[in-house]
Amino acid sequence: MSISQFMSKHHRECDDVYVKAEGLVSEQKWEEASDAFTQAYDDFMLHFNREESTLFPAFEDKTGMTNGPTQMMRSEHMRMKATLEDLKMALQEKDKDKFLGHSEAFMIFVQQHNMKEEQMLYAMMDNVFDTESEELLKEIA
Amino acid sequence: MFGRDSGLSLDQAPPLQIPLRFFVTAPIFGIVAGLFILAFVPSLAARSSLEVITLTHFFTIGFLAMVMIGAMFQMLPVVAGARFKYQNILAPLIHSLLSGGLIVFAYGIYTYTSIAMIVAMVLMAFAFLMFIFSTLSALIKAKNVTPTIKAFIFSLLSLFIAILLAMHITISHATTDISTSHQALLNAHILFSLMGWVGMLIIGVSFQVVPMFYVAESYPEFYKKHAVKVIFISMLGLAFGLINDNYQLYLLFKIFISLVFIDYGVTTVSRLITRKRKISDTTIHYWYLAMSMLIVALLLSLANEYFNNYLLNTVAAIIFIYGFAMSIITGMLYKVVPFLTWFHLTNQGYMNMPTMNDLIGKKLTTIQFYLHVVSLASLIGLVFINDLQVVAGVVVFLSNAFILYNLIKGSKLYFTKQGLEKMNF
């Protein structure tokens, strides 16, 4: 499996858990929603961590691009983390409209971010990493 | 390998003003179209009458092309990792040439004034050609040629052909030198504009936004890989058939094109039905309406090869333009404008702001959606019933005024942000 395939698959997994939480919020099933959201939250953090601690530094070392796409992705992660906190708070307050309102922007932002990673950054990673791919995958799995 | 000049940077979202000026202008031309119907369009039955030609271009250039060009400024960084060079000059220039050109065009066609037709042609051709070449030059530099980029390239090539044909048609009108192939070239112009430029661009955008907005399954790989190629080649074949008066060839390629578009419509609906994200909003209604209208328009147009009734063709064109393209574009604007407002404000550190859903509000978009459906029905009615002129004019006016209001409501916070509490990350 390539880095691109592995990470893209994890994007879908994050989506799945997250939309489940969102659906439960819209039905106001707060307890189940809270569990699903916690799982989604952890999945997102795991994903960010895989990139920020392992893949991005390796990419930067290999290409010398420290101010390029990886930096941009990091700053997008920051914004997603901030919105995740808004969502968490709305969930705690059991405020359906607020949650779904934040969720709308969050979902588009996440999908747009994923698209940039999958169509550009991961594709570049598959190109620049040769033998390292396997090791990197082991490290993040 | 990925140096500074590679053109690859993942954050090049243009300032909000750049796409927004196009987005807000679109419903203004929609409003103008409504007023124009009230004043000058007693019937839509005669497709080649001067008032119908004028009205059509208010919708196609004033609304559709306006939004599509504005959206391209926004999408290019996301889909191709590139942006327009000199976008701060290019966007207002294209926008004003196109808006000004369209007004002169409307005057020139409706009053059949040669000089105005030529002036309008020069203004709009200049705007479109600048747009086509600057977009293409950014797209061909993309490192990873995705199906969306491919669709954009074919769409722009179609627009290029449509513009050349439009220039030829306009010059023949202005010089009253109408050749025997005029009708064939006119049909080719309509084909490349609607199925080529509008249709393929929407297909390319769908590849991205259906999974993105609704967390739906991606379109089938085979379709993504081949659909636009088949459409483009079939359009060339169809145009060849038209110009050489070869009916069999024309019909064969027409069926090909229709099948690819119907496949797109059915696939999109099935993707939306099985989408993971179950939240429903006005934009979803717009998608379902657009896809069903696309399929209806194509089936009508195909059926007309048998019935041979020119009114049926006019109805198919109305359904394609107003029912399919305008619907999908309006639906997307309701997602994109509040999102961009949210995006740019949070980018500047304004965190304590209304959520994206509160920016326009579901009630307003729902009312507008129903007005849109009524205005579509009244336009179809106007093909057959002259008495509908006032009704059609009023509802087209109201529906577009409502879009304008909603878009302003969705974005004004960006321009009046003093009230928002500024917080630091």
3-class DSSP assignment, residue B421 = strand
Of B256, B278, B300, the residue at which a domain comes to its end is B278
B209 found inside a domain: yes
B397 found inside a domain: yes
DSSP B420: S
Q: Is the same domain home to B44 and B133? A: yes
B35 phi-psi bin (left φ>0, alpha ψ -120 to 50, beta other)? alpha
b/e map B209-228, b = 16+ CB within 10 Å: bbbbbbbbbebeeebbeebb
CA A84 to chain B, closest CA, distance in angstroms equals 13
**Rg, C-alpha atoms of chain A:** 16
Query: B61 and B102 in contact (C-beta within 8 Å)?
Result: yes
> Chain A residues with CB-CB distance to B under 8 A?
15-16, 19, 22-23, 26, 63, 65, 68-69, 72-73, 75-76, 78-79, 82, 97-98, 100-105, 107-109, 111-112, 115-116, 119-121, 123-124, 128
Q: Does B81 lie at the interface with A, CB-CB under 8 angstroms?
A: yes
Which residues of B, range 261-320, sit inside 8 Å of A by Cβ?
276-279
**CA–CA distances in Å: residue B150 to residues B136, B217, B224, B279:** 11, 20, 9, 31
B3 found inside a domain: no
pLDDT for B287: 98
Look up residue B257 and give its two tokens: 């094109």
The mean of the pLDDT values for chain A is 92
Q: Is the same domain home to B421 and B294? A: yes
**CB spacing of A108 vs B213 below 8 angstroms:** yes
- What range defines the domain where residue A47 resides? 3-140
Q: Is the same domain home to B313 and B265? A: no
B49 found inside a domain: yes
Q: Is the same domain home to B303 and B241? A: no
Q: Does B1 lie at the interface with A, CB-CB under 8 angstroms?
A: yes
B149 found inside a domain: no
Sign of CA dihedral B397, B400, B404, B405: positive
Of all residues in chain A, the one with the smallest CA distance to B218 is A12
Q: Is the same domain home to B265 and B296? A: no
Residue among A82, A80, A83, A86 nearest A113 (CA): A80
The pTM of the full predicted model, rounded to 2 decimals, is 0.92
pLDDT digits (tens, 9 = 90+) for A70-99: 998 999 999 999 999 999 999 999 999 999
The domain total for chain A is 1
The domain total for chain B is 2
Contacting residues of A for B1, CB less than 8 Å apart: 63, 128
Of B278, B295, B325, the residue at which a domain comes to its end is B278
The total number of residues written for chain A in this structure? 141
B389 found inside a domain: yes
pLDDT for B419: 59
Q: Is the same domain home to B93 and B240? A: no
- What range defines the domain where residue B239 resides? 160-278
Q: Is the same domain home to B117 and B95? A: yes
b/e map B328-363, b = 16+ CB within 10 Å: bbbbbbbbbbbbbbbbbbbeeebbebbbbbbbbeee
Q: Is the same domain home to B307 and B421? A: yes
Q: Is the same domain home to B287 and B411? A: yes
Look up residue B40 and give its two tokens: 């000058």
pLDDT for B268: 98
For this complex, say whether ipTM is above 0.85: yes
Binned at pLDDT 50, 70 and 90, residue B8 comes out as very low
Q: Is the same domain home to B250 and B343? A: no
3-class DSSP assignment, residue B44 = coil
Q: Is the same domain home to B20 and B137? A: yes
pLDDT over threshold 60, residue B5: no
Q: Which CATH number goes with the domain that contains A108?
A: 1.20.120.520
Look up residue B236 and give its two tokens: 């060339």
**CB spacing of A68 vs B215 below 8 angstroms:** no
pLDDT digits (tens, 9 = 90+) for A24-42: 999 999 999 999 999 999 9
Of B232, B259, B278, the residue at which a domain comes to its end is B278
What are the beta bridge partners of residue B421?
A: B352
Q: Is the same domain home to B374 and B421? A: yes
Contacting residues of A for B212, CB less than 8 Å apart: 108, 111-112, 115
3-class DSSP assignment, residue B217 = coil
Q: Does B354 lie at the interface with A, CB-CB under 8 angstroms?
A: yes
